[in-house]
Structure 1
Amino acid sequence: MMSDKMIPIPFPKLVNWMLEEYKRSHTIFGVSDVKFFQKKNDNQIGLFGETMDTPVGPAAGPHTQLAQNIIASYLSGSRFFELKSVQIMDELEIPKPCILAEDECYNTEWSTELPIMGAFDEYVKAWFALHILQKELFGQNDRRFMFNMSVGYDLKGIQSPKVDEFIEGLKDASNTEVFKKCKASLLESLNQFKSVDQAFVEGISPTICTSITLSTMHGCPPAEIEAIIKYLISEKKLHTFVKMNPTLLGYEYVRNTFDKMGYKYIQLKEESFTHDLQFNDGVEMLKRLKVFAKENQKDFGVKMSNTLPVKIGRSELPGEEMYMSGRALYPLTINLAYKLASEFDGDLNISYSGGADAFNIDRIFETGIQPITVATTLLKPGAYLRFKQMADILDPLMGKKASGKLDMEKLKALAESAFADANHIKEKGDLINRKTELKLPVLDCFIAPCTVGCPIEQDVPEYLRLVGEGRYEEAFDVIVSKNPFPFITGTICTHNCMTKCTRLDYDESVHIRGQKLVAAEKGYDAYMQKLPTLKPESSAKVAVIGAGPSGLAAAYFLAKGGLEVTVFDKRAKAGGTVEYVIPDFRISREAIDKDIKLIERMGVKFEFGIDPNFSVADYKAKGFQYVYLAIGAGKTNNLDIEGDQDRVMGAIPFLEAFNADKDALKLGKNVAVVGGGNSAMDAARAALRVKGVENVYIVYRRTKDYMPADHEELIYAEEDGVIFKELLAPVSLSGGIFKCQKMELGQADTSGRRKPVAIAGSYEELPVDTVLSAIGELIDYDLLKQNGIAIGEKGQISVNEDTLETNVENVYLGGDALVGPWTVVGAAKHGTVAAKAILEKEQRVFKQEYVNQISFDNEKQLLEIAEKKGVMKPVADHKLESERCLECNKVCNICAEVCPNRANLMIPVNGKGLTNMNQILHVDGMCNVCGNCGTFCPYSSEPYKVKLTLFWTEKDFMDSPNVGFYFLDDGSNGEFMLRFDEQIAKVKFDQSGNTDVKIDEKIAAFIWTIYKDYEHLYKVLN
């Protein structure tokens, strides 16, 4: 059990926190002064008689729930604040976690989790704090930001005494206790400030809001909505926006939009549309309300849009229904905005929220729509810092907006372009889980997910920075310390690294593979010139059977470690599948040869044309103490169909024949490739290059979304003209007719893949002369058994998982021969593991160190990383990819960035044995268990459950299972209670930071740093 109740920070402590943090680290609530938004012109924009420096800000949601959230928004560029909605039911028990923002965002929380007047207090505190910051940091006297309150959900609730008190208090807070206390606190502590004086504090207006946004529940009757708005305009005298739901577009429109944009998995309920406000009724209501508002001399407009209700179908969050926002909502919202505005000939005030971000905010603003609020983009890495880029984009556009109607031509163009906007289309690659399988440690957690995701753990951020600095030889050195195939993997690697890249949560992955190739092409010659041919330093001899990627990797590291290595292969050249199967239009033979030369430089010897039916005993008899079997998966998996089997060919044999002499191939006019992996794409693209071939089909029993091939390989195949035939299962080939069973997708299995189900009696016939089977290769078990290697009943091969040694002493097995068809880098991993094990047996050093001493300018590096945070920057030039790498191994802090409440803090700790420049402290009192830090942490754990936790009260400490501590008597005598390793101890520091009870020295160093340097973090509630 752990509490999900936030504890608001008292105003004097809030101010002290801001000042102390800024003095110590030039950050305020985690926002660095590097990311403070600085206005570059005097242009402002007006709304409801108020002025703003920028018309962008946080939507009513998690980012306007607490004062510190509003402060973080302001510092990074927000000047319009749509305060989180309140409603009469303010004691809701919300199941947690309540937010899932992996891509499009889902939530199950609708209104503030604080009591109504608790929320009111937060908004007043934030109001004062922003005035202080604008004066103290930016020297601004006149307020250049505005607050907009938000309420729901029915008229009776809005008219209730406590909601009415909230509304009236924000209209005029002068007589409220919290307003008086905040003002008095500032007046008593003017000596804390350089620019804030008594006159400035006295001049802070008690009129916090002159406007309101109505957030109605889905299904709220039109008459009820209209009555609420009339009440807010006439009785409460407020300028009013009303949220409009995407359901106005109708079920069919929304369903079709999602399907064509790749969001087929989103489950909608038709009743969500039929029970909600209908478009024509909504238009008539808005027409009446425009007239009513004008009669009452108030401004009125619509907020585009509310969230979209969808089913919880995969246990994404607790409950049955959740609300969707983010990039998937953009094409709906911008089209709804256009559709509604068209009914009013552009004479409609629109406040926008629905997938706005740095990629489209300028185009939205240039239509005349403003203000623009965001939420989902702030839940992702970079978080509040993303405001800086959005504000900077809008800044030069300020002053250009003419008053009056919307620019309908621009709005129409924007709406039409939304369906093809790459930033809002769900691609196959967007479905990948970016988390690693590692468990989050309490301390020292910074990792580069790309490195962890790479089977051979390439030091990706290091070589990307070196390439960016033009240090190509050093970059090449970093790569080949762990990877003997810089050219091969720089060209055709399946790049697991890119599927883990944090940049995917911004825009698109850093193009890591391409940067490896840049390093290879520009660093190879200089590196090779300085590299002597190594000679064996040991009498131990190793035979490597198979000159494919796994065998070559083993040979590389074995020779590097000083052993005598000979690689044997049945073919005439080294390279295996890469050399003989992968087509030359994917990788040049010159590139492969360069990697082989690097391996030869290690002293590796080769013998070719060897009998494939080898005997391990023969090699041992020749004096080889160790044998590594890297023989590949040598058997073709036959396609089980009826008819002309002589016109069915394995994709791998076909590709070998293609590489040997494509002009000798006779495939006919029409070719079908069965399968959906990279080999299928290679075979299809190669077949198109065979003389006489006119059409090539990819036949797959699921849809393209489920094809295991890399996304880019699918695109290359499409660009070459391959025809994709989805939801077809082969039945027979006879007389040039390829008969296929039609399939449909059934229920999802445990992996999330929907199972293909045959449609009874339904077939499709394709004109096909040749079928290429790309359904995988098989392990040659017979050959392994002949050599005494134990095989289980289900085909499992007996090897030591840590060393890959088989049941036959000193015989090792890896690559495709062990696991079936695999990747180049996966095979290289096995070769590396086997080499390391053999070297350890020989008591030799396994060498993966760099030849050069690699170093960076630490201060420059940290500044550049800080500047990259929160900046959306898709690929423009692959040569500049280092500018997009976020260097997570050096500075991660993702959990601190994405926490709306600032509950995860970055604390520099100089402790014994600590390696990260920051440690993460979790502050229990600021956490509402939304779960967002767990979504984006690269580990498989949730930071709010794992990281060292500071508690503000004994009760919270006792109620939580977290590793954590709280100070007794506010730390006045250095005593604290600590839970660690499931034990609770009372501990006391002396004046030097030593403890009277022996505890983990790293934990002690962390808590000592908090105690000594961060009083404002724990002296909060007294």
Structure 2
Amino acid sequence: MSDIMRPIPFAQLMTWVLEEYQKQGSVFGVSKLVRHENGQALPIFYEKIESPYGPAAGPHTQLAQNIIAAYAAGCRFFELKTVQVMDGEELSKCVPKPCITAGDECYNCEWSTELTVPQAYAEYVKAWFACKLMARELGLGDPDGFVFNMSVGYDLEGIKSPKVDAYIEGMKDASGSAVWAECMDWALANLGKFQKVDEAYVKAISPVVSRSITESTLHGCPPDEIERIATYLITEKGLNTYIKCNPTLLGYEYARKRLDSLGFDYIVFDDHHFVEDLQWADAVPMLRRLIALCQERGLEFGVKLTNTFPVDVAAGELPSQEMYMSGRSLFPLTIALAARISNEFDGKLRISYSGGADYTNIKDLFDAGIWPITMATTILKPGGYQRLSQIGQLLMDCGSAPFTGVDVAKVNALSDNVPVNPHYRKPIKPLPNRKNGRQVPLVDCFDAGCRTGCPIHQDIPAYLMRAGEGKYAEALEIILRRNALPFITGTICPHHCGDKCMRNYYESAVDIRGVKLKCATEAMAQVLPTLKPAAPQSGKKVAVVGGGPAGIAAAFFLAREGVAVTVFERKESLGGIVRHVIPAFRIGDDAIDADIALAKAMGAQFQTGVEISSAQSLFDQGFTHVIFATGAWKPGDARLQYGQAMNVIAFLEQAKKAPDTLKLGANVVVVGGGNTAMDAARAAKRIPGVENVRLVYRRDQRNMPADEEELHMAMDDGVEFLELLAPVGVKDGVLTCSVMELGDRDASGRRSPVDTGRTVEVPADTVITAVGEHVDDALFAANGVALDKKGRPVVNETMATGVANVYAVGDARRGPATVVEAIADATAAAQAIAGMNPDLDVDKNVHPNYNKPLSKHGDLRTETTCPDTRCLGCSTVCETCTEVCPNRANIAIAVPGKRMRQIIHVDGMCNECGNCAIFCPYDSRPYKDKFTLFWSREDFDNSTNDGWLPHGDGSGVCTVRLGGAVKEYNVTDPACGLYEDLRQLILAVRKDYGYLVK
């Protein structure tokens, strides 16, 4: 059954490790193995760790293979997943699935291990033994250079229960356990599989798996119970002990204020946990007593900071009522608590840290004397365990000095830095949808989100690669296949392609727009003379009405295909809104002129100062097709109850052409929240005599339609944002506005504005309305074109109207839109008229290395250059679902005849946490939608996944489910009737990945 994890026997685990490493150089998908060879190791718990970091008690320490993967990636401190008296099936029934979503800050609704306590014990012992063998055989470091730290909860009675007590004692000495014998017997019986491991080494492996423990305190646990548990663990069990503290120690007011100030105001929680949890006044004396107790016993004591933070499920993030927050939004709270504790105890209380630690801050934490440091959220993101490899290199020289105290000043500085560090600030706008809107296929699922997310489907990875090689001319040639306006789009495109970029989950999207402009600028002189149209197409002559971006793009594509095309523009210069309206500080005329030069080089003709109002008049001149690309210049309605406002287009035109003629007064108000409103506000700031520019919008900033970067540019220019105000009317230099407030959340978590009945007055010498321009419906009506309810022309997928051979493209048919959307419309019309094939897979033709897969590096890059070389090459390799799975249940395998590795899902390793579904670029769940390998008939029958169950008799017969239909196939027979790609996939597993099959 898909959500039940089936622990892997030790023999299969080690066979997997050794064979995968021999064939691929990786261990459970970790190819960047970290080797500790400098002899440095930090003392802790009378043991030592070669590096001060590792996975936190959570999904990455629940199964043996998870711990093994983390060890391969350089981890040497392992906080094992919490065990408690309620376990196994009883606990699983209480954990709704999916239970993890780590798209930005992370939320989960899981608790302790979903295994039974004896199963969890066996997993930890197997992992301990495996890491000992790997250390020697793979040369990863000192076999005694890592530590396992137990975690138990949540009440003393449960911890004293026979099964939890047996767990603790077994971890203190595993020598008498059946699982220890299983590991020892296999290792001794298989010495021939090793080159560096011998009998003496195996027999000398210590059965003391753990000497330390972290007390995990459930929210609401009384302070006296916390102290009783810790005292028991110290005095009765003799364990080095940490107590996990909750962020609620900071108090509700502090937590709410700090999260709000960083843009996390949408996270919903009240004060009940703060009231019910351990209080600061109780915690300090308790910790002092426990410090003294450990000193008496010769044991180490510390605090673990922090537990996750309980918040409400407000937008359906998970199928629960409450969830636990972690990641970068938890760091501001955890580091603040670390500072408070460090100040209180003068740096003498040891702090183990887990609360938003990642590559960006872990070195600073360690340098401040805070260690060991454990992580979960960062390794739930693309890159997965291999993010730990990068951290391993960062902390390689950790030294060998014992803990001497926390540097209070450095911890305070870390906490004080949070408000000014952009890493901890949530973007103003909600994160965009990163899905591609398609169902993931069973095979060949690699996908470049940037390409599918671009309205014109540019082959972005291909030109990024060429630019990275310095081959700008070739890159520009790739760009021009689908983009007729590389200079304009390279300057002002909203570049929503970047919304889909997988690098967003590392640090930020690749600078696709910047690279495009770099290519255009560097290669224009070389490429322009080489441009020439195809052979002339007889019988076609196209008129394009409107010389803005849509018109220029249509002319470029048609001319390139050998079609005679003329553009008629009513103004004296080409460029439309881009030239005449968008401020010069956004884009200069040189960029517009460069794109026009490209179209002219293809043979397009342009006539300016000519106004066309009738398609028939063009047909009468011998044109066979007419494309209306007239833009959306008709003013929107501000709906003021009284007074007059200036239209944004009229204002921007005048501000660009003759700013000195504008007399706006000292106070300007712009009504609207889109990109045009931001342009107007920024332009107004530059008009002589203007002192204050205020932007009024009925919603809050988060719900403004403007792009994130546009909001920031307006704020940087000093524009004042007045949120939740709806204009009523303007009179005598005052704009009266209704005060709005955010109402209840709907199913999506969005809060709509509601009128409070109150009003405010805003100084306004001039009011500029940017509330959406309209299409000139009269023009289309006069030409017999049917209109929709919004007054826009009705067109089909080719941009054809109901009038024969008449098309409408760009803003003329969409209303105000983007330049790249205008190019998309022009492409569709050119395809229909000229049979143009923009060649989606152009890189197959012009990129000689197309069939050579890129290697995903997965490292965070804090500095970028132009051209930006951080592209992960998702068009040739994705494998994201394999990276983000804590249990390694999604696996990439090489299949003969396939140029890229294929993904299979292993049912028995999955608990349906759902994390892979968050990051898959498709609207799919790999754990449900990828071809699945089953280990038992029971699990096969209890699943609906497409997949196969090997019969295990060596015959090649498998039971296969496809589309709900179940049938047996002998996959060794080419004529068995199974879809060939799937047959080859199964054969590849049989031949090269036998260790995947139980």
**How high is the TM-score relative to the length of structure 2?**
0.97
* Distance in structure 2 (CA, Å) of the matches to 1:172 and 1:750: 52
1:881 to 868, 871, 893: 868
Structure 2 counterparts to residues 12-411 of structure 1, below 5 A: 12-32=11-31, 35-39=32-36, 41-90=38-87, 91-92=90-91, 93=93, 94-138=95-139, 140=141, 142-399=143-400, 403-411=403-411
Q: Tell me the equivalent position of 2:622.
A: 623
1:601-628 deviations in whole A, cap 9, x for unaligned? 111111222225x111221222222111
Preserved contact between residue 988 and residue 996 of structure 1 (Cα < 8 Å)? no
Tell me the secondary structure at the aligned position of residue 240 of structure 1.
strand
Paired position in structure 2 for 1:583: 583
Tell me the secondary structure at the aligned position of residue 206 of structure 1.
coil
1:3-36 Cα deviation digits (max 9, x unpaired): 300111100111111111122222211111xx11
The answer to whether the Cα contact below 8 Å between 1:514 and 1:878 also exists between their aligned partners in 2 is: no
3-state DSSP of counterpart to 1:715: helix
CA contact (8 A) 2:777 2:792 kept: no
Q: Contact 2:36 / 2:140 at 8 angstroms: preserved in 1?
A: no
Query: Does the aligned pair in 1 maintain the 2:62–2:80 contact within 8 Å?
Result: yes
Shift of 1:45: 0.6
1:918 is aligned to: 901
Q: Distance in 1 between matches of 2:255 and 2:611?
A: 62
Q: Aligned partners of 2:844, 2:13: CA distance in 1, in Å?
A: 49
Is 1:788 the counterpart of 2:780 in the alignment?
A: no
Contact 1:515 1:878 in 2 (8 A): no
**Residue deviations 1:735-788, cap 9 Å, x none?**
111222222211234554321122223x22222111111111012222211111
Contact 1:351 / 1:370 at 8 angstroms: preserved in 2?
yes
Q: How does 1:409-448 map to 2 (within 5 A)?
A: 409-429=409-429, 431-448=431-448
Q: Which letter maps to 1:878?
A: T
The partner residue of 1:773 within 769, 772, 778 is: 769
Structure 1 residues 331 and 262: CA distance shift in structure 2, 3 A: same
Give the structure 2 partner of residue 833 of structure 1.
828
State the alpha-carbon separation in 2 of the partners of residues 541 and 141 from structure 1. 77
Q: Offset of 1:433 from its aligned partner?
A: 2.2
Query: Which of 977, 990, 997 is 1:1011 aligned to?
Result: 990
For residue 800 of structure 2, the aligned residue among 801, 805, 809 is 805
Contact persistence 1:971–1:1011 (CA under 8 A): no
The alpha-carbon distance between structure 1 residues 174 and 682, as it changes in their structure 2 partners (threshold 3 A), is same
d(CA) in 1 for partners of 2:663, 2:176: 90
The 1:1015–1:4 alpha-carbon spacing in structure 2 relative to 1, beyond 3 Å, is same
Q: Tell me the C-alpha RMSD between the 2 structures.
A: 1.8
Structure 1 position 995 matched with structure 2 position 995: no
Letter in structure 1 aligned against 2:690: V
Deviation at 1:796, TM superposition (A): 6.2
- CA contact under 8 A between 2:549 and 2:575: conserved in structure 1? yes
Q: Distance in 1 between matches of 2:896 and 2:63?
A: 31
Partner SS, residue 879 of structure 1: coil
Between 36-45 and 76-85, the greater mean CA deviation after superposition: 36-45
1:927 aligned to 2:927?
no
User: In the aligned structure 1, how far is the partner of 2:353 from the partner of 2:327?
Assistant: 12
Aligned to 1:983: 965
Contact 2:665 2:690 in 1 (8 A): yes
- Structure 2 CA distance for aligned equivalents of residues 1001 and 568 of structure 1: 55
Deviation at 1:141, TM superposition (A): 5.3
How much does 1:886 deviate? 1.1
Q: Distance between the aligned counterparts of 1:828 and 1:847, measured in 2?
A: 15
- Tell me if the contact between 2:533 and 2:559 (Cα under 8 Å) persists in the aligned partners: no
- Cα distance in 1 between the residues matched to 2:141 and 2:404: 29
Q: Rate the CA distance shift 1:830–1:519 in 2: closer, same or farther, 3 A.
A: same
The farther-off stretch of 493-502 and 35-44 is 35-44
Q: 1:963 aligns with which of 930, 933, 946?
A: 946
> In the aligned structure 2, how far is the partner of 1:437 from the partner of 1:62?
29
Maintained 8 Å contact 1:104/1:327: yes
Which deviates more, 951-960 or 5-14?
951-960
Letter in 2 for 1:666: K
- The one-letter amino acid paired with 2:200 is A
Q: CA deviation at 1:857?
A: 5.2
Aligned positions of 1:505-516 closer than 5 A: 505-516=505-516
| Aligned-residue offset at 1:686 | 1.1
1:899 correspondence with 2:917: no
Tell me by how many angstroms 1:424 deviates: 1.2
Checking the alignment, whether the CA contact within 8 Å between 2:503 and 2:872 is kept in structure 1 is yes
Letter in 1 for 2:781: K
Range moving further from structure 2, 185-194 or 981-990? 981-990
**C-alpha contact (below 8 Å) 2:106/2:377 kept by paired residues:** yes
Distance in 2 between the 1:609 and 1:853 partners? 41
Offset of residue 221 of structure 1: 0.4
Aligned-residue identity in percent: 49
- What is the CA-CA distance between 1:465 and the residue it aligns to? 1.6
Q: Which amino acid aligns with 1:781?
A: D
Q: Secondary structure at the match of 1:745?
A: strand
CA contact (8 A) 1:338 1:415 kept: yes
Shift of residue 644 of structure 1?
Answer: 3.2
Corresponding residue for residue 479 of structure 1: 479
On the 8 A contact 2:42/2:402 being kept in 1, the answer is no
What are the superposed Cα offsets for residues 507-548 of structure 1, whole Å, 9 maximum, x if unpaired? 111111111111111111111132246663323111111112
Q: Secondary structure at the match of 2:6?
A: coil
CA distance change for structure 1 residues 387 and 812 in 2, over 3 Å: closer, same or farther? Answer: same
Question: Which residue is 1:689 aligned to?
Answer: 686
Q: Is the 8 A contact 1:490 1:513 kept in 2?
A: yes
| 1:939 equivalent in structure 2 | 922
- Where do 1:561-600 residues align within 5 Å? 561-600=561-600
Q: Distance in 2 between matches of 1:535 and 1:190?
A: 72
Gaps of 5+ in 1: none
Q: Say if 1:848 and 1:407 are closer, same or farther in 2 by CA, change over 3 A.
A: closer
The 2-side partners of 1:972 and 1:65 are apart by 32
- Cα distance in 2 for residues equivalent to 1:16 and 1:248: 47
Paired residues of 1:511 and 1:878 also in contact (CA < 8 A): no
The residue type equivalent to 2:3 in the other structure is: D
In 1: Cα distance, 2:469 partner to 2:137 partner: 38
Following the alignment from structure 1 to structure 2, what is the Cα–Cα distance between the partners of residues 357 and 849?
37
Per-residue CA deviation, residues 833-857 of structure 1 (Å, 9 max, x unaligned), is 11112223xxx65567869953355
Q: Indicate which of 706, 710, 722 corresponds to 2:707.
A: 710
Over 3 Å counting, the alpha-carbon distance change for 1:939 and 1:858 in structure 2 is closer
Q: What SS does structure 1 have at the residue aligned with 2:329?
A: helix
> CA offset at residue 566 of structure 1?
1.2
Aligned residues: 994
Contact 1:43 1:398 in 2 (8 A): yes
Q: Are the equivalent residues in 1 in contact too, given 2:101–2:108 (CA < 8 A)?
A: yes
CA displacement, residues 479-528 of structure 1 (integer Å, 9 cap, x when unaligned)? 11110111101110010111111111111111111111111111111111
Residues 893-920 of structure 1: CA deviation (Å, up to 9, x unaligned): 0000000000000011123xx4x51110
* Contact 2:457–2:840 (CA under 8 A) maintained in structure 1: no
Query: Contact (CA 8 Å) 2:853, 2:900: kept in 1 or not?
Result: no
CA distance in 1, matches of 2:688, 2:336: 48
The amino acid of 1:594's aligned partner reads A
